[in-house]
Chain A
Amino acid sequence: MIPFLPVPDGILVTLTPDDLDLLNQLPEFLATLGSPAEDPGAARLHSPVYLDDIQASDEWWRLMSEEFFQSRTADRSAFAMILESAGAGTVASLAEAEALLRVLNEARLALAARLGVREEGDMELLDSDDQAALDYLAGMQQLLVVALIGEELEFPIDPTSDN
């Protein structure tokens, strides 16, 4: 079964029960993110914008916090809505599919940070279950990128690759 297929109205999303079991956990996982000062997962999604001016960076995050909150809430709602009917197959608009992609990426970044992935090579040090979870999310992300761009990837699926 191909989980993400481009169709004229958007992306046809069809997920297996196993996919749904795993992906339905993501909004719940993201809801557990705490304060960036105490939670590496939250900190990864709250990286400084002005490296040489922490005050300016903090002010930027303060000013943008409502934008981020609304955007991430909307993405997670779209994600949950798509998953609700993805067992039988549902067409997500391009905007909804992009929201799905952002949530997949957000969860993968936060999970990797919580697991201690900080530098190149850290991923290989994870235990096999943690690595499998990150690899699974990477694979789904890659498949959705393929569907969104409608062409073959330049850097074919290799869950261990990074940017």
Chain B
Amino acid sequence: MVTTRPIERPVTDTRVEEDLPWQVVVWNDPVNLMDYVVWVLRRLFGHSLAEATRLMLAVHNEGRATVNQGPREQAEMDAYRLHQHGLWATIEK
């Protein structure tokens, strides 16, 4: 799994941070197939082909992309479903 960039944590006060949604991030890896990743993003999040393709290319070219966001419970469930499909997903504020 390639992690080309360190996580950038926003510098905010606690109140603002608590209000921020949790980001579900998919990371680039050298094995998952491009079309498979597009299929997973469409299947799990109902993205259009164009949006799923845009996100997959962002993962591929930039090393990571936020594919969904929301409350922590939802983000953790999204991470579970992505891992279930073999994508490396993390969650962060």
Contacts and interface: CB of A to CB of B under 8 A. Distances in A.
B31 A108 contact: yes
B9 interface: yes
A67 B79 CA distance: 13
A163 B32 contact: yes
Interface residues of A, number: 42
B92 A163 contact: no
Interface string A117-146: 111111100000000001000100110010
B84 A145 contact: no
Interface residues of B, number: 35
Contacts of A51: 7, 90, 92
Contacts of B86: 45, 102, 105-106, 109
19 contacts: A51-B7, A51-B92, A67-B80, A109-B31, A109-B86, A113-B31, A117-B31, A118-B30, A120-B2, A123-B30, A142-B33, A154-B35, A154-B49, A155-B34, A162-B28, A162-B34, A163-B29, A163-B33, A163-B37
Interface of A: 44-45, 47-52, 60, 64, 67-68, 71, 98, 101-102, 105-106, 108-109, 112-113, 117-123, 134, 138, 141-142, 145, 148-149, 153-155, 161-163
